[in-house]
Structure 1
Amino acid sequence: MTADLRRRIFHVEKQLEAQQAELRLLKAQLTTQTKMIAFPVLALPPEIVSEIFLYSFEPGPFLALDSKAAPMMLLYVCKTWNRIALGTPALWSNVLCRLASGEKALRALAVLAERSGSTPLSVCIVSDAENPVRYDIHTFSVLFCQHSHRIRSLDMRVSSADLRVIDSYKPQLPALRELGSYAAEHTSRISMFRDAPNLSVVRFDHRHLDHIPFRWHNITALHAATSGLNMLLHAWQKMPNLAVCSYEPEKEDMTEEDIERGNAPVVVHKTIRALHAADFLCYDEPTTLLYYCRLPALETLVLNNVLDLDIVPFLDDSAPPLRRLILSAKKSRVICIPKVTQTLALMPHLTELDLSLCERDTYREFCAEFSRSPSVLPKLERLSLLSARYDRERSEGDELECLEHGALLELMIEAVSSRQATAPAKWKYQIRTLHIKMVEQVDVVYVSKASAIRCDDMSKDGVDLQLGPAADIIIFPHHDNL
């Protein structure tokens, strides 16, 4: 009898253990499902979460190991995210090395290079010239050379002395495509980039490129920040296949005496297709870039901080197939285009035009010319404008009037609606996008009944109309015209 009781107790204990195990499993499932309801991302497969991480942080910041920004903080959210993040090599491919941090810079490069697996690296090296701290640049250079074959993008924000030391170790850069060089000016010749066969994008600041030889014929994009005009034109002559260039002139770059001495000859570059020039100001000034270049292949021209714009001589001499012209005015000023008719006539291939903050007469002449003949800007499809409620100055004490927003809308709507698309187009109107925004916030715009009808007709034709900063802007017709 005792044996029978023991046997029954054994079976009950087994059943109890099984039920307790099932209870633990059910509780775990309940916890998981509750978390998934509150945090749906937890229900996704790790591969999808990894892709979300990459999409969220593309192209991603340069990382130091002590960074408190994402994606570094993903490691501290939960064990699952920690595991997924560490298993996503591309998250760790952007490395920040602050040389003044000493051992931390070495560890950052070593750890992140390991985490990123075989993913190409983007490396930013920074040294503090104003507050120098003792660090072993030679040890760093050795470690840098161990991983240099994987570097695709390199930013060198280092002192001239540090750059010379790194260069002396002859790092190999077969995968390098983008280079940013922001060291102080010096006369030492740097040779580490001469044998970078894939280098095609160069960014520099206050640097004479003669001291950093490249395979010049490979360079297709040049971004020159706060650089001299002579330096830029000299660089163009060395880069026969350059396609994209952005340029921010150095303050007080050239004087009229420099021009008279012939220090900046006219340069004809036959492959540049896109040019972005900051601080353009007035064309008539002899220190502006377009005064000294001819670009017969130019398709995109972006000019910032414009005051007066007379690009007729440039367009006439270059005869470029210009397709995009983007203008932005200097802060608190407006743009004056004295030769609107001639300018438009020289841009027959233009498909996109942005006339931000032009003065009243410029807008009026543009609308009159555009409405006059279908031969004026026959391919224009996208038109953007920016207007201001208050009058602004072109220069000190020289006030130019801006069109009131409603009046500008009336002009542009009438001009755009007057241009019919040519056969075999599937739509009625030539312009497919019309954006007119204001510097100041506007919620309600009053226009004539005729303009309101035109807007409705253009919308039905599929024209993308944005007539203010708010997407739900309301257009009311004038009561007098109802």
Structure 2
Amino acid sequence: MSSAEEELRTRLIELDNEIDAQKTVLLNLEHEKCLVQRRLNAVLDPITRLPLEISSLIFMMLQPRDPFPIPRPNKMPMVLLNVCNSWSNIALSIPALWTTFAILFPCAKGLKDLLPVWLERTRGQPLSVCLDGVFDHDVVDIIWKHGKQLKYLEIWAEDRIKKKAGADDSRVMRFWEKMPPEDLSSLKVLKLCGSSWDRTLPFSIRHIVELMNLAPNLNDCFLQEVRLADDGCRAGLVHSKLRRLSFRRGNGPGGDNGLVHYLSLPALEVLCMPDRLSTSEWDVFVEESSPPLRELELLASHSDFAFFKKCFEATPDLERFEVWSAKYPVLEEMFEALMLSPDLLPNLSTLVIHLPNIELFNMSNSFWKKLSTALAIRRRRTGIREFHCDSTFELPPSKMPGLGILDALKELRRDGMKIQLNIGAA
């Protein structure tokens, strides 16, 4: 090798080394520039100059109005991670930003990987979760791993959950089959919502009893549009903390298919009664539970006043009574009992009546007279404070309260009683 060639090769090596050194310097400068830029951003950004308590409140106020936001990259709180490092650090330091969310099945691609990271950001804080659709067991199993954090659990079964002819629906009926929850001790509210189309839900009576048994501190249980399958539940449950139990169908009470038969609820204060509870079944429930009911709501389209009376006698501390679709003669008997029996519901403060739109011809001329008289007597004796009456249809003029009745109701209003009539063009 000639000396000239060797000299050139040496020079190339020197240049490569100098380039590598300059690249290192450039990288260091770019890194330092990035750090300085972040510091400048922090100086200029009013959010980062605030105490963490204040910036946390601001970020919490940015949460969407939707009570259960669906995790998405371009939505709160994920979008905060893409603004700058300072905002990302603040967002990750606020567990409350991550504790409330909904999962819509079939879920978005990548959610199985994101969900464990998301839940880690909650730092063990109480969770409020909504599950909606045909459940993905892998995703639900991740939720159950954090079951002890669950404070509010809402489960929806949409119309797309329909049993096909000859299909095996066990995957839907047992949505925790791979990893059953072991501890729901923090759960305070359980809401199960079926489809308005067929009022079905992927649960049986046994599932509900199991869920409630895993949640000894449950306070509120709501079942909306639910028709539970009776799969031979063999054991009942005494739940000492449940205060509110609501069975609803549409806007009013309804549903159940026998769940109440398996429950003893000695702390129950609010009951929206299932529509299929007979007089004898009510007697058994009251005898076994002895609930200190304060509020009672029922659908009474097939009841007579004897059932009303049984309910009233079993709930002497009742403060609010709401009735749907009771027959007009039954309502008149109730008004008479409230007039003549001061010991009946002595603590009644609020009375709500939803007029039935059937058998309108049974609404006699004395209906409004007995109502206004009962309210006046109760106002003097027990201090009843509120009366609401509504109808889904407009009453014909012949069935509307007359001027004398309206004057009597106005007098009660002047006395401080809240009265609301939604019955048409009164």
- TM-score category (smaller protein): 0.5 to 0.7
Q: Per-residue CA shift, 1:78-109, capped at 9, x if unaligned? A: xxxxxxxxx964454249558xxxxxx43446
Could you tell me which amino acid in structure 2 is paired with residue 179 of structure 1? V
Task: Give 2:73's aligned residue.
Answer: 106
Task: Give 1:458's aligned residue.
Answer: 412
Give the CA deviation at 1:158: 3.4
Determine which of 438, 443, 447 is the counterpart of 2:391: 438
Q: Per-residue CA shift, 1:47-66, capped at 9, x if unaligned? A: xxxxxxxxxxxxxxxxxxxx
* Alpha-carbon distance in structure 2 between the residues aligned to 1:296 and 1:251: 25
Q: Per-residue CA shift, 1:364-398, capped at 9, x if unaligned? A: 3322322232111010011111214542xxxxxxx
Task: Give 2:196's aligned residue.
Answer: none
Could you tell me which amino acid in structure 1 is paired with residue 268 of structure 2? L
- Are residues 1:274 and 2:241 paired? no
Instruction: For 1:278-293, list aligned pairs within 5 A.
Output: 278-279=248-249, 281=254, 287-293=257-263
- Are residues 1:200 and 2:151 paired? yes
Does the CA contact (< 8 Å) of 1:275 and 1:301 recur in 2? yes
Structure 2 unpaired stretches of 5+: 1-56, 157-171, 194-200
Determine which of 361, 371, 377 is the counterpart of 1:412: 371
Could you tell me which amino acid in structure 2 is paired with residue 247 of structure 1? L
Could you tell me which amino acid in structure 2 is paired with residue 270 of structure 1? S
Does the CA contact (< 8 Å) of 2:69 and 2:100 recur in 1? no
* Alpha-carbon distance in structure 1 between the residues aligned to 2:81 and 2:362: 57
Determine which of 234, 251, 267 is the counterpart of 1:297: 267
* Alpha-carbon distance in structure 2 between the residues aligned to 1:364 and 1:346: 21
Distance 1:447 1:113, change over 3 A: same
Higher relative contact order (CA 8 A, sep 6+): 2
Does the CA contact (< 8 Å) of 2:69 and 2:101 recur in 1? no
Does the CA contact (< 8 Å) of 1:340 and 1:365 recur in 2? no
Q: Per-residue CA shift, 1:400-452, capped at 9, x if unaligned? A: x6742854322322222233545xxxxxx622111222222248665467645
Does the CA contact (< 8 Å) of 2:325 and 2:356 recur in 1? yes
Does the CA contact (< 8 Å) of 1:228 and 1:250 recur in 2? no
Report SS of the residue matched to 1:362: helix
Could you tell me which amino acid in structure 1 is paired with residue 293 of structure 2? L
Distance 1:312 1:196, change over 3 A: closer
- Are residues 1:367 and 2:367 paired? no
Does the CA contact (< 8 Å) of 2:389 and 2:422 recur in 1? yes
Determine which of 309, 312, 317 is the counterpart of 1:349: 317
* Alpha-carbon distance in structure 1 between the residues aligned to 2:346 and 2:294: 11
- Are residues 1:380 and 2:348 paired? yes
Could you tell me which amino acid in structure 2 is paired with residue 432 of structure 1? R
Aligned residue pairs total: 328
* Alpha-carbon distance in structure 2 between the residues aligned to 1:412 and 1:120: 60
* Alpha-carbon distance in structure 2 between the residues aligned to 1:370 and 1:335: 21
Task: Give 2:132's aligned residue.
Answer: 182
Could you tell me which amino acid in structure 1 is paired with residue 295 of structure 2? R
* Alpha-carbon distance in structure 1 between the residues aligned to 2:303 and 2:136: 41
**Which stretch has the larger CA shift, 320-329 or 229-238?**
320-329
Task: Give 1:7's aligned residue.
Answer: none
Does the CA contact (< 8 Å) of 2:148 and 2:184 recur in 1? no
Could you tell me which amino acid in structure 2 is paired with residue 459 of structure 1? R
What percentage of residue pairs aligned between the two structures are identical? 16
Structure 1 unpaired stretches of 5+: 1-86, 99-104, 122-144, 392-400, 423-428, 475-482
Task: Give 2:421's aligned residue.
Answer: 467
Task: Give 2:63's aligned residue.
Answer: 93
Could you tell me which amino acid in structure 2 is paired with residue 200 of structure 1? K
- Are residues 1:240 and 2:191 paired? no
Distance 1:202 1:339, change over 3 A: same
* Alpha-carbon distance in structure 2 between the residues aligned to 1:321 and 1:118: 49
* Alpha-carbon distance in structure 2 between the residues aligned to 1:349 and 1:328: 20
Task: Give 1:313's aligned residue.
Answer: 284
Instruction: For 1:213-252, list aligned pairs within 5 A.
Output: 213=181, 215-225=183-193, 226=201, 227-248=203-224, 250-251=226-227
Could you tell me which amino acid in structure 2 is paired with residue 228 of structure 1? S
Does the CA contact (< 8 Å) of 1:179 and 1:202 recur in 2? yes
Task: Give 1:38's aligned residue.
Answer: none
Distance 1:297 1:449, change over 3 A: same
Q: Per-residue CA shift, 1:243-265, capped at 9, x if unaligned? A: 011124654622xxx44xxx243
Task: Give 1:336's aligned residue.
Answer: 303
* Alpha-carbon distance in structure 1 between the residues aligned to 2:401 and 2:238: 48
Report SS of the residue matched to 1:320: coil
Does the CA contact (< 8 Å) of 1:201 and 1:222 recur in 2? yes
* Alpha-carbon distance in structure 2 between the residues aligned to 1:231 and 1:238: 11
Task: Give 2:99's aligned residue.
Answer: 152
Does the CA contact (< 8 Å) of 2:240 and 2:266 recur in 1? yes
Could you tell me which amino acid in structure 2 is paired with residue 199 of structure 1? L
* Alpha-carbon distance in structure 1 between the residues aligned to 2:385 and 2:129: 39
Task: Give 1:63's aligned residue.
Answer: none
Instruction: For 1:387-406, list aligned pairs within 5 A.
Output: 387-388=355-356, 390-391=358-359, 403-404=362-363
Q: CA RMSD in A?
A: 3.9
Does the CA contact (< 8 Å) of 1:389 and 1:404 recur in 2? no
